[in-house]
Amino acid sequence: MPIVDKKRLLSKVALAALCVGALVFMGAAAPRASAATLSRSVDVNGTPAAVWTTIGPFCSIKDWHPVVATCTEDGQTPPVRTLVTKDGKTTFVEMQTARSDTKYIYSYNFISSPFPVTHYAAQIEVSAKSAGVSTVTWTGSYIPDPGKEQEAFEALRGVYETGLSAIKGKFAK
């Protein structure tokens, strides 16, 4: 390779390295959304197995969450459910990502939702608290859209607390 071609090649490589370095620096300086978590629990009368029978099936959310009117599963593995609210105006599409019917737990994430979040992943778990009493815990992690942190938190908190309150009501003695 002639010396002129080597110099031109080295110049292009140096320019490319400088551009990559600038992009990395700009990315490091850009504001990043912070991950957030939310967890809510409720104690209910019933063994974990009894509670799980009611809330464990992936589409049973339509039977216990007062805001959800319909739930349809796609029949695939892993299952994807589509939830429609009672007013018919809001739809969520969620994919189950893990499940254990012996540990009374399932995890899922949003494929689409109206909430101002990305990377949403959640888990519902039932555990024994004492004889005949179980704890239902709903936990989620997400990245709120910039400037929508409070709106995201309030929306998810409302879903969790409304759902858990309804579960408690189903098991009231």
Query: What is the per-residue pLDDT across 54-76, written as a single tens digit (0 to 9) for each?
Result: 999 999 999 999 999 999 999 99
Give the separation between CA 166 and CA 160, rounded to whole angstroms. Answer: 10
47, two tokens: 């063994």
Same domain, 20 and 86: no
Radius of gyration of the chain (CA): 24
Residue 75 sits in a domain whose CATH number is 3.30.530.20
Q: Give yes or no for residue 80 having a pLDDT over 70.
A: yes
Beta bridge partner(s), residue 118: 143
**Close Cβ partners of 150 (under 8 Å, ≥ 6 residues apart):** none
Same domain, 10 and 76: no
Structural domain of residue 79, as residue ranges? 33-170
Q: How many domains, in total, are found in the chain?
A: 2
pLDDT for 25? 41
**Percent of the chain residues past pLDDT 70, beyond the cut:** 81
**31 band by pLDDT with thresholds 50, 70 and 90:** low
Give the separation between CA 3 and CA 9, rounded to whole angstroms. Answer: 10
Same domain, 84 and 165: yes
Beta bridge partner(s), residue 122: 108, 140
**Mean pLDDT score, 73-81:** 97
pTM for the whole structure: 0.80
